[in-house]
Chains A and B, each alone.
Chain A
Amino acid sequence: MSIEETVPDGGTITGDEASADTPFGTVSSGTMSRRDRYKMLANEWVIAPFKILWDDWRARVGTLIILAYVLMGTVGVRLVDPPRVGEGDRLVSPFEDMSHPLGTDNMGNDIFAQIVHATPPMLEMIVAGAVFTTVMAVVVGTLSGYKGGWTDQLLMTFNDILMTIPGLPLVIVIAVILEPRSPWLVGVIITVNAWAGLARAIRSQVLTLREESYVEASRLMGISTPQIVMKDIMPGLMPYILVNFVNSARSVIFASVGLYFLGILPFTELNWGVMMNLSYETGGALYTWETAHWLLAPMVTIVILSFGLILFSQGTDRVFNPRVRARHTSAADPEEGDEDMSGEVATHIRG
């Protein structure tokens, strides 16, 4: 046999090699319209995940809370006028005057307006920080885990050192050096080494996933590394990544508000931390009950948002669980219940 004849010819086995009765010769008889296909995709990627989220009360509450803040930061700033000095009396108590629902500060600024108008830069900061953390961690973790060898050793040595340095002091030092003003930049600086822990964790997950048979099978089928990472590795990491995305969003809030509160980050815009700082430092809030609302309002704002984020993250890992997904994408699957059940029985029997 000569080499030319036996080298696979690019795949299609036509002619006599594939006789009519082998399934390889098959061609399609009907077509699926483009519309149907999009519908299917929409169902798989948008509708189903949302349904799954909605099924879990924690995720539901979390989603609602996050949605409310996003609305506040987008629509809210259009509906509520920006705070102006002396727009109301000084230190109006909350819930007294409906034109100042949360009262005013010592300069007569409306507190509710301050909170609303501090939201957009805060959201920008959160997004910047969370995206930076996640992207860095995924890139470093995946690279390190999938490549191995020297790349791994170098990256992990660097990573371990970064991980050990306490975050807040490092951020402070950098903030002092750079004096960042853009919320996007602040977000990135705050997470400057926050990604290292996640990168380590992702690396070890990748190490496990890399050994899975289906990854090796893909490799042997000649599928390119980026494809393998995207299709075979990433989906396995997604629950992890998503949960950590949400968690890092939370730590960005904590750290940035803390730094604004301390006055370490330059006061360029309204921020919940700045509000706390002003009420704490200039308002003499500590010595009287009268200014309590000024101090409490931003604090409650932060706590509710972070509560929402935690709840959301607790409910999200289900979105990527194929077992849960299967239940939602195809309604007509009579076998499916049995499968779950026999799994359950098997555990009982084994146990």
Chain B
Amino acid sequence: MSKTDDTQTATTAGTGAGTDLSSIRVDDPIVEIRNASVTFDMERGESRVLDEVSLDIERDEILGIVGESGSGKSMFASALLDAIVNPGVLTGDVTYHPQGDAEVDVLGLSPEQLRELRWEEISMVFQGAQSSFNPTITIRAHFEETIEAHNYNMEQAMAHARELLSDLYMDPDRVLDSYPHELSGGMQQRTLIALSLVLEPNVLVMDEPTAALDLLMQRSILSLLEDLQEKYDLSIVFITHDLPLVAGLADRLAVMYAFEFVEIGPASDLIGNPTHPYTRALLKAVPNLDTPLSEMRPIDGMAPDPVDVPQGCSYHPRCPLADETCRAEDPTYHDVTSDHQSACFHWEDSAEAIPLSTDGEHGETQAFAGEQSDEPVVSLEDVDVHFDQVSDGGLLSVFQEPDTVHAVDDISLDVYENDVVTLVGESGCGKTTLGKAVIGAQRPTDGTVAYRGQDIWEAKDSRRETDIPYEHIRRSLQMIHQDPGSSLNPNRKVAASLKAPLKRWEPDMDPDDRQERILSLLEYVGMSPPGDYAQRYPHQLSGGEKQRVALIRALLMNPDVILADEAVSALDVSLRVEVMDLMLELQDLFDTSYVFISHNLSNARYFSGKAGGRIGVMYLGELVEIGPAEQIINDPQHPYTKVLRWSTADLDIEETVEDPPLRGIDIPDPVDPPSGCRFHTRCPEAREACTRAQPTLDGHDDGTEHRTACFREYDESHEYWESEPIVDDADDADVAVGGSDSDARTDE
């Protein structure tokens, strides 16, 4: 070990970076990374996507690595397995320490040795579980071929695989016999984790393993991960863009910016006393449930380009503390404490310059609902939306019995002027469908949707004049889509996309006025110079810019209600607050209401909370709780809302990841929803009565805006209080998880 260190110090001195290695060393490292760099040759020059990184991973620790997209964190993950994709070149040293004194120079291994090291010693979980499996072979085949390739005892290893699968709350037989596409996203991701652990590795590298999943599923997986780590003595490297997510899980945290680590330290220290200006900015930018709304701030500026990293400290163009030294010299690590390092010259001053309140006061409530009107703009009454699963066209699909998905079931909702309603829930809960029903983009199978008293669909179908013509309704209800990538026509320039609505609704407008109006709007949302942006194609815009254009396009219609469907979810964390702020600012200007859809309670709280709006919680097509934003966040009533609240990680590191307050991880099949209260298959408070009758939002009117569809809100005379609690058989955990609604259903 000392030998390695000597050579390392020598190399480091040579590079002039002056990294003080003693500071990032731990007592019992399982993997040591020294001066690891990854470069790509590009036409424009050398692109350095990992820049002289050194770090130790301690045995049996969970190390959280946090960085925004493009910060080089995935490169770091690949470097640990010497698995950089061509034509990237990895230099530096990676040393693996198995048990005892042995050490393995990972980069110097022969292909065969490397093949053995991977998966047997160090293994990896990727972000896209779906794309990590071969779609044409079963899950069992994946396990078996892996075991076979490494000459493990098939029987023992398969037994281990089964154990892992049930540890992860799944039914091993069912999963093993499935093809990848037959599993839900959360199951795929958990299966991938089991697959990565089947050869009992010592180190597990997880690259954004949960990013594509719902928060609740992410949190559930995290809590399982903690169990696995203890059970199998794993060292875990958890890479993510989501600081609050790992904060509670990780022992140590390392923050990446511009292809290097800027701050490393124990999780509690790093969250409690962040010293690098970037870490502090990041903490402020991330929407969460605790930071007072007024304290959240977007980070100005953009992350640097790998070909052209700024001289000196790479953060200086965005750093409020930057001075001449920062611009000239690259800062080395400064010890904050013996195990907490910060790559910043002015770390001692950062706390003062960038104040941060992490004391998490909950009391803050905003004045509720000032400017709402009496009459709703849009009002939904008993709306149902059921889908028949689509056929592939052609012969015979006519004869197939279609499966009906109950996307929205019997929901009534009013949206007022200047209102903000946020709908939250897991994917597949019907929140997007409900949102689309509100803006008349989805015809309800039953119930009515009215715009200022005029039934929208009647207006559309009727040939006679209606009170409000359909055309007016149509332009009054607009939408901003989730995926910035597809929200703009890739074949049209920004100007053309923005002109289309104007041409439709103001055909007489002078073309030059049209042009000017578009340019000034672009300028207004901060896309400057507008003339340049107008002539771009969507692929020449960043995600945030695309969403801004989509926002302008919607606003050009001067709508009354805008549906924002996960409009910020695809953006980088630090950008979300910025775009949400812009949306709220424009609301003031244009007198619009928003229906905001999010799977993320923090975003919901930020958006609804700041505007004094409401949050509605959806589960399997039903609205289970609705009320003022801060009340839903701080005083959730419905057991499901409490679960969501639990799943939304806060920055409170004291709170370790505990077991989910849920009896099952996976959502039941919406084709065949559970009887009675739909949540009863997973609800920790469920009693026998819940399987029979369905609670409603109005069942127990206490006159407030905050309504909850749960029998626990009903008064004591309700049969719920008398009936037996539902207890799952402990040995049968996977049955409860696998959607066991059928056995709990009453036969009438």
Interface residues of chain A, those whose CB is within 8 Å of chain B, are 1, 3, 6-8, 10-13, 22-24, 26-32, 144, 152-153, 156-157, 159-160, 203, 212-214, 216-223, 227, 231-232, 235-236, 320, 322-323, 325-326, 330, 333, 335-339, 341-346, 348-351
Q: Which of B417, B441, B452, B474 meets A216, CB within 8 Å? A: B441
Are the C-beta atoms of A220 and B491 separated by less than 8 Å?
A: no
Interface residues of B (CB under 8 A from A): 40, 42-44, 47, 49, 69-70, 72, 74-75, 85, 88, 305-307, 373, 375, 391, 393-395, 397-398, 417, 439, 441, 452-453, 467-468, 471-472, 474-479, 481-483, 486-492, 497, 500-502, 504-506, 509-513, 515-517, 519-521, 523-524, 532, 535-540, 550, 553-554, 557-560, 589-590
In the complex the two chains form, is B487's CB within 8 Å of A323's CB? Answer: no
Given A156-B393, A320-B491; A28-B539 close (CB under 8 Å): no
Further pairs besides A235-B491, A322-B539: 9, Cβ < 8 Å: A1-B375, A6-B560, A11-B502, A13-B558, A26-B516, A212-B486, A217-B553, A220-B478, A333-B535
**Contacting residue for A349 out of B75, B398, B476, CB 8 A:** B75
- Decide if the interface of chain A is mainly helix, strand, loop or mixed: helix
Does B479 lie within 8 Å of A217, measured CB to CB? yes
A139 to B: closest C-beta gap in Å? 16
Query: Which residues of chain B are within 8 angstroms of A24 by Cβ–Cβ distance?
Result: 517, 521, 558
Complex Cα spacing A10 to B475, Å: 9
B-side contacts of A7, CB under 8 Å: 452, 468, 472, 476
A338/B305 in contact, CB under 8 A: yes
Quote the shortest CB–CB distance from B433 to chain A (angstroms): 13
Query: In the complex, A342→B40 CA distance in Å?
Result: 12
- B481 near A213: Cβ-Cβ < 8 Å: yes
Contact B481 A216 (CB under 8 A): yes
**Are A28 and B515 in touch, CB under 8 angstroms?**
yes
Please indicate the chain B residues that have their CB under 8 angstroms from the CB of A218 in the complex: 500
B70 and A214 within 8 A (CB) = no
Q: Is the CB of B513 within 8 A of A8?
A: no
| Inter-subunit contact B394/A220 (CB<8 Å) | no
**Complexed CA–CA distance, A6 and B475 (Å):** 12
- Are A213 and B49 in touch, CB under 8 angstroms? no
Residues of A within 8 A of B42 (CB): 341, 344-345
Q: Which of B49, B393, B497, B524 contacts A203 (CB 8 A)?
A: B393
For residue A240, give the distance in angstroms from its CB to the closest CB of chain B. 13
* Cβ–Cβ contact A217 & B481, under 8 A: yes
Assembled-state Cα–Cα distance A350/B74 (Å): 6
B552 to A, closest residue via Cβ = A23
Q: How close is B506's CB to chain A, nearest CB, in angstroms?
A: 4
Q: How far, in angstroms, from A346 to B516 measured CA to CA in the complex?
A: 35
Cβ–Cβ contact B506 & A23, under 8 A = no
Q: B512 to A223, Cβ gap below 8 A? A: no
**Do B492 and A231 touch across chains, with their CB atoms under 8 A apart?**
yes
Partner of B516, one of A8, A12, A28, A335: A28
Given A8-B558, A26-B517, A213 and B486 contact (CB-CB distance below 8 Å): yes
Q: Which residue of chain B is the closest to A150 with respect to CB atoms?
A: B398
Closest 5 CB pairs of A and B: A213-B481, A28-B512, A23-B520, A235-B491, A28-B516
Taking a contact as CB atoms under 8 Å apart, the answer to whether A342 and B393 are in contact is no
Report whether A213 and B482 are in contact in the complex, using a CB–CB cutoff of 8 Å: yes
Task: Tell me the minimal C-beta distance from B81 to chain A in angstroms.
Answer: 13
Whole-angstrom distance between the alpha carbons of A342 and B303 in the complex? Answer: 11
A153 touches B475 (CB 8 A): no
Q: Is the CB of B417 within 8 A of A1?
A: yes
Q: Which residues of A contact B558 (CB under 8 A)?
A: 8, 11, 13, 24
Contact, CB under 8 Å: A323 / B539: yes
State whether A223 and B504 are in contact (beta carbons under 8 Å apart), knowing that A214-B487, A348-B40, A348-B88 are contacts in the complex. yes
Closest to B72 in A: A349
Which residues does chain B contribute within 8 Å of A217, judged by CB atoms?
479, 481, 487, 550, 553-554
Expressed in whole angstroms, the minimum distance between the Cβ of A213 and any Cβ of chain B is: 3
Q: Is the CB of A346 within 8 A of B69?
A: yes
Nearest CB of B to A281, in Å: 44
How long is the Cα–Cα vector from A153 to B69 in the complex, in angstroms? Answer: 44
Assess whether A23 is in contact with B517, with CB atoms less than 8 Å apart.
yes
Known contacts A30-B512, A221-B501, A322-B490; is A8 also within 8 Å of B472 by CB? Answer: yes
Give Cα A326–Cα B490 distance, bound, in whole angstroms.
Answer: 11
A346 near B44: Cβ-Cβ < 8 Å: no
Asked if B487 and A231 make an inter-chain contact with CB atoms under 8 angstroms apart, the answer reads no
How many cross-chain pairs have Cβ atoms below 8 Å apart between A and B? Answer: 191
Residues in chain B near residue A343, CB distance under 8 A: 539
Let me know if B513 and A28 touch, CB within 8 A: yes
Q: Which residues of B contact A236 (CB under 8 A)?
A: 490-491
Q: B residues within 8 A CB of A160? A: 394-395
Q: Can you sample 9 A-B contacts with CB below 8 Å?
A: A22-B590, A23-B524, A24-B521, A27-B513, A31-B512, A212-B486, A213-B487, A214-B497, A335-B532
Is A216's CB under 8 angstroms from B305's CB? Answer: no
Closest residue of chain B to A37 (Cβ to Cβ) is: B511
Task: Tell me the nearest residue of chain B to A236, going by C-beta.
Answer: B491
- In the complex, the answer to whether A326 meets B474 with C-beta atoms within 8 Å is no
Chain A residues lying within 8 Å of B520, measured Cβ to Cβ, are: 23, 26
Smallest CB–CB gap between A306 and chain B, Å? Answer: 30
B49 touches A348 (CB 8 A): yes
Cα–Cα, bound, A216→B512 (Å): 27
* Most interface-central of B306, B393, B506 (chain A CB within 10 A): B393
A32 CA to B453 CA, complexed, in Å: 45
Does B393 lie within 8 Å of A6, measured CB to CB? no
CA of A325 to CA of B539, assembled, Å: 11
Most-contacted residue by chain A among B43, B88, B305, B489 (CB, 10 A): B489
Q: Shortest Cβ distance from A11 into chain B, in angstroms?
A: 4
Residues of chain B lying within 8 A (CB to CB) of residue A227? 504
Decide: B85 and A348 in contact? CB cutoff 8 A: yes
State whether A220 touches B489 (Cβ < 8 A).
no
Chain B residues with CB below 8 A from A232, complex form: 489
How near does chain A come to B156, taking the closest CB pair, in angstroms? 34
**Cα-based distance from A11 to B49 in the complex (angstroms):** 49
By the criterion CB–CB under 8 Å, are A220 and B474 in contact?
A: yes
Q: Is the CB of B44 within 8 A of A339?
A: no
Checking A6, A144, A223, A341 against B44 with a beta-carbon cut-off of 8 angstroms, the contacting residue is A341
| Cα–Cα distance between A346 and B71 once the two chains are bound (Å) | 10
Q: Which of chain B's residues has its CB closest to A151's CB?
A: B393
Q: A residues within 8 A CB of B472?
A: 7-8
* Residues in A neighbouring B590, C-beta threshold 8 A: 22
A248 CB to nearest B CB, Å: 22
Q: Contact check, B49 vs A349: say whether CB atoms are below 8 A apart.
A: yes
Q: Which of these, B49, B397, B502, B537, contacts A345 with CB under 8 Å?
A: B49
A322 to B486, CA, bound (A): 14
Contacts of A214 in B (CB 8 A): 481, 486-489, 497
Give the residue name and chain of the B residue nearest to A13 (CB).
Answer: B558
Q: Chain A residues near B375 (CB, 8 Å)?
A: 1
Given the known A-B contacts A235-B491, A235-B492, are A221 and B397 also in contact in the complex, defined by CB atoms under 8 Å? no
Kindly list chain B residues whose C-beta atoms are within 8 Å of the C-beta of A216: 441, 479, 481
Q: Is the CB of A11 within 8 A of B505?
A: yes
Tell me, rounded to whole Å, the shortest Cβ–Cβ distance linking A326 to chain B. Answer: 5
Contacts of B516 in A (CB 8 A): 26-29
Cα–Cα distance between A163 and B376 once the two chains are bound (Å) = 54
CB distance from B123 to the nearest CB of A (A): 18
What's the Cα separation between A153 and B398 when bound, in Å? 8
**Contact between chains at B492 and A346 (CB < 8 Å):** no
A7 nearest in chain B by CB position: B472
Is B523 in contact with A330, judged by CB distance below 8 angstroms? no
Residues of B within 8 A of A213 (CB): 481-483, 486-487
Q: Smallest CB–CB gap between A350 and chain B, Å?
A: 6
Contacts of A335 in B (CB 8 A): 532, 536, 540
Closest Cβ of chain B: how far from A31's Cβ, in Å?
5
Q: Contact at A144–B393, with CB atoms within 8 Å?
A: yes
In the assembly, what is the distance between CA of A227 and CA of B497, in Å?
13
**Chain B residues, Cβ within 8 Å of A333:** 532, 535-536, 540
Q: Are B452's CB and A351's CB within 8 A?
A: no
